[in-house]
Amino acid sequence: MTLPTLPSGGPRLLLRQMREVMAEGVSGQERLDKLVRMIAANMVAEVCSVYLLAEAGDLELFATEGLNPAAVHATRLKVGEGLVGTIAETAESLNLSDAPAHPKFAYRPETGEDPYRSLMGVPILRAGRTLGVLLVQNRTHRHYTDDEVEALEIIATVLAEVVASGEFSAASGVALRERLAPVNLHATGLADGIAVGVVVLHEPRIHVTRLIAEDVEAETGRLEAAIDGMRASIDAMLHEADANLAGESRDVLEAYRMFAHDGGWLRRLREAVVTGLTAEAAVERVQNETRARMLRSKDPYWRERLHDLEDLANRLLRHLTGDVATASKQALPEGAIILARSMGGAELLDYDRSRVRGVVLEDGTPTSHVAIIARALDIPMVGRAERLLERAEPGDLIALDGATGELHLRPTADVVRVFDEKLALHAQRRAQFHALRNEPAITLDGVHVRLNINAGLMVDLPNLDETGADGIGLFRTELQFMVAPTMPRLKAQAALYRRVIEAARDKSVVFRTLDLGGDKILPYGPRNVEANPAMGWRALRIGLDRPSLLRYQLRALIAAAEGHVLSVMFPMVAEVAEFVEARRLLHMELDRAQGAGKRMPSAIRVGAMIEVPSLVWQLDQLLPICDFVSVGSNDLMQFFFAVDRSNPRLTDRYDLLSPSLLRMLRHVVETADRRGVPLGLCGEMAGRTLEAMALVGIGFRAISMPPASIGPVKLMVRSLHASELQALMEELYDEPEHSLRPRLAAYASEHNIPL
């Protein structure tokens, strides 16, 4: 028997019929029963079924045409179980001519589905979350056409909005209960601080209520007009950026403009409208598909690009609805806590800092741009807050601890009281730190420890004065490259470096040359897939293999430092020969500038980062040709212990206060002291008070950290005797313990050293 294909008119005819059913004054269950009968008839299917996510997290058969009616609300599958569960788990459609032969097929005798061989199922998606599964079945072995698959996906788009609106009591009921109940999460702390405030959605939800087009030609015109309006608004922002925004922010807007002209994205939008959806529903459908695919990608590059497309889709929806203002441009309530799936650093800069108490991200890592900026702005932030957006509503009370990752949505009165106490204590500590701002970090026995900040953006620079830091121990030059849609030109690089030097005035600044590769991917550069990128082609290795890139940056640094001291540090040096070659390239650029009659830096200081253990055993050869060296504790630790820092299973496996690691650092200190070469350390180790105390005990006299750590570390330094601590450390290096943390914490407690 040959089955007919989808009737003439395809999804348009079915969507018109669905609009009539949804306008009827019947119960949600009756409406869903009518819809599955209509879909089955329209698609010439013998079975049409809808499974929705139930309260326990299972997929419940909610309506069917063709299967045993007694199975409705009785048949359940776990996400990942059977073909229905697989569709829900992967958020991908299945099209099978012999479904029972599929290895994931799960037989449910109560449904009476024995005669049916072919199956086509699609996920019901909204906001990246699977709400259910829509499927059709036939007795014969057949492969459904692409047009039929597309028709079912369009129908699922409409069903998703109906389900999310509270029409049915399964997935919508779960969502309603979640929106009302307190939610307690242990997320990831990204920026230190305590905050209690009200929820403000970074991208306020635009509820699409009109899903089915009455006039496809008119909807096409609306879409084209909205695209033009969106592009014009981005162009206007870029024009404004020329005068008002920092280079990094403007570069992000340039990236938005490129996405706004992406041909593939625009083609999918136009095709969705032609099928019979409104322009708004078309944007929702395309973005749902994109979001589901990208969220399940293991490639971090594509997961990062999702944010750009999310932002663009939201901008387009605002132009379609006439609501073109974003949260950052609206009047914020007092004590706003911004919630977002993800956020770019420039977007955080757009907010009124005086009203933002905190930020919560569903994604986010400690090394992301927005986390770095949040720490620079001293805004508490947590990330990895899974599924929080779908459970939060604007105006909800929320409390967070940016140090521990503790997060409470709609907290109870007891939780609010505890956080109020935390805030009071935090305020006392901040006042204590502020009082020390202009005091030097000198121990009780007169040892001066230089406390520097890490920076990478212009927004970091006010922290030099606000914290009383001694200088910038590490300026990450790669951030300018990473946020730009194209390679920053020589003048743009030099202008940024010059502003940094001028803002620091008489304080020292150490510029680290590009540390790209690994997890730092340029949006415009080649993407090299490596099995272990952290130990692959990155940092100085790229600079030496692409000397024109390194020389270009060195040329900009020399131009920026005219009349000032220029301190340049090369990252990821694995052997002395690499440093010699890098220094040779620097001298070539110095000779070039001098030959051209350029005004030269008043002095040149050239250093190396000790991040690769092999370099530790070449210090006697390296130090005589270095002006200074700096230990990069983050990479050095992961290479020393063979630890992938991005692997959550290994996060607490090895300790920064391991005797073996501290003993190696002591060797570095002794060698640098013997050679008379200035030594520093930068990395998370320097910003944690107990670890920083250990560094002072080892003999480090210059450490660089996030700005928010300056106050706590300075208070700690001014409370200890360096000589006593150093004597204690000498007794501990040979201990066989996993970590010296308990011993050092006990010492701090006994000697009233605040941590």
205-325: CATH, from 1.10.10.60, 2.60.40.10, 1.10.274.10, 2.40.50.100: 1.10.274.10
What does the angle CA 14 – CA 17 – CA 18 come to, to the nearest 5 degrees? 85
**Tens-digit pLDDT profile for residues 213-259:** 778 888 888 888 888 887 777 776 666 544 444 444 444 455 555 65
Of 48, 45, 23, 27, give the one whose Cα is nearest residue 214: 23
Task: Band the pLDDT of 275: cuts 50, 70, 90.
Answer: confident
CA distance 335 to 343: 19
d(CA 144, CA 121): 10
pLDDT of 84 > 90? The answer is yes
Which sequence spans correspond to the domains of the chain? 10-178, 181-203+331-428, 205-325, 436-750
Is 48 catalytic? The answer is: no
Q: How many whole angstroms separate alpha carbon 146 and alpha carbon 141?
A: 16
Find how far residue 366's CA is from the centre of its chain. 8
pLDDT at position 413 over 60: yes
| Confidence bin at 304 (pLDDT 50/70/90) | low
Name the strand (E) or helix (H) holding 59.
strand 58-65
- Residues whose CB falls within 8 Å of the CB of residue 626, separated by 6 or more in sequence, listed in order: 579, 606, 607, 608, 677
Q: How far is CA 555 from the centre of its chain?
A: 32
Give yes or no for residue 429 having a pLDDT over 70. Answer: yes
- Confidence band, pLDDT 50/70/90 cuts, at residue 81: very high
Fold classified for 10-178: Beta-Lactamase (3.30.450)
Tell me how far CA of residue 45 lies from CA of 11, 36, 137, 275, 437, in angstroms. Answer: 14, 10, 6, 20, 74
Residue 342 has pLDDT above 70, yes or no: yes
The sign of the CA dihedral 517, 521, 525, 529 is: positive
Q: With the C-alpha atoms ordered 346, 347, 350, 351, is the resulting torsion angle positive or negative?
A: negative
pLDDT at 555: 94
Residues 641-660 have a mean pLDDT of 75
**Residue 175 confidence class, pLDDT cut points 50, 70, 90:** very low
Write down the CATH number for the domain with range 181-203+331-428.
Answer: 3.50.30.10
- Is the model's pLDDT at 625 over the cut of 80? yes
Amino acid at 272: A
Beta bridge partners of 510: 567
H or E element in which residue 195 lies: strand 194-201
Lowest mean pLDDT segment, chosen from 206-210, 254-258, 338-342? 254-258
Higher pLDDT, 688 or 244: 688
369 labelled catalytic: yes
One-letter amino acid for residue 271 of the chain? E
Q: What is the mean pLDDT of residues 454-460?
A: 77
User: How far apart are the C-alpha atoms of 541 and 558, rounded to whole Å?
Assistant: 21
User: Does residue 199 sit in helix, strand or coil?
Assistant: strand
Annotated catalytic residue, options 307, 369, 408, 426: 369
Instruction: Tell me the one-letter amino acid at 457.
Output: L
Instruction: Of 236-245, 410-419, 539-548, 663-672, give the lowest mean pLDDT range.
Output: 236-245
What residue type is 534 in one-letter code? A
Residue 667's pLDDT band, with cuts at 50, 70 and 90, is very high
Report which secondary-structure segment, H or E, holds 89: helix 82-90
**Radius of gyration of the chain, Cα coordinates, nearest whole angstrom:** 30
Task: Assess contact for 707 and 375: CB atoms under 8 A.
Answer: yes
Among 153-162, 506-515, 737-746, the minimum mean pLDDT is found in 153-162
| pLDDT surpasses 90 at 146 | no
Q: Are strands 381-383 and 188-191 parallel, antiparallel or unpaired?
A: antiparallel
> In this structure, what token pair is assigned to residue 591?
């000779």
Question: What is the pLDDT of the chain when averaged over all its residues?
Answer: 82
Distances in whole angstroms, Cα of residue 490 to Cα of each of 14, 79, 556, 558, 584: 58, 53, 6, 11, 20
| Predicted pLDDT at 176 | 41
CA distances from 350 to 359, 466, 633 (A): 13, 21, 33
Residue 105 tokens, joined:
């097929």
Question: Edge-to-edge, what's the strand order for the sheet holding 188-191?
Answer: 183-186, 406-409, 397-401, 194-201, 336-340, 356-361, 381-383, 188-191
Token pair belonging to 633: 């504790």
The two structure tokens encoding residue 420 = 């109020």
Q: Average pLDDT, stretch 134-161?
A: 87
The string of DSSP letters for 306-346 reads HHHHHHHHHHHHHHHHT----GGGSPPPTTEEEEES---HH
Structure tokens at 349: 């800069």
Strands 397-401 and 194-201, by their bridges, are antiparallel
Residue 597's region, left for phi above 0, alpha for psi from -120 to 50, else beta, is left
pLDDT at 114 over 80: yes
- With tokens 């949505």, the residue in question is 409
pLDDT at 152 over 70: yes
Q: Which residue has the higher pLDDT, 215 or 68?
A: 68
142-155 burial by CB neighbour count: b if 16+ within 10 A, else e? bebeeebbbbbbbb
CB atoms within 10 A of CB 60: 20
pLDDT in tens, 468-496: 999 999 998 877 666 555 677 888 889 88
pLDDT, tens digit, for every residue of 591-614? 999 999 999 999 999 999 999 999
Query: Could you write out the three-class secondary structure of 531-565?
Result: CCHHHCCCCHHHHHHCHHHHHHHHHHHHHHCECCE
Q: What are the residues facing 567 on neighbouring strands? A: 510, 605
Q: Rounded distance, CA 273 to CA 226, Å?
A: 13
pLDDT for res 426: 78
Annotated catalytic residue, options 202, 307, 426, 682: 682
pLDDT over threshold 60, residue 361: yes
Provide the CATH number for the domain formed by 436-750 in this structure.
Answer: 3.20.20.60
Which pair of tokens denotes residue 517? 């590769």
DSSP class of residue 683 equals S
Highest mean pLDDT among 385-399, 485-499, 575-589: 575-589
Residues linked to residue 199 through DSSP beta bridges, in sequence order? 337
Q: What is the pLDDT of residue 430?
A: 79
- pLDDT confidence bin for 629, thresholds 50/70/90: very high
Q: How many CB atoms lie within 10 A of CB 307?
A: 18
Residue of 458 and 493 predicted with greater confidence: 493
Comparing CA positions, the residue from 131, 12, 354, 140 lying closest to residue 120 is 140
pLDDT of residue 341: 81
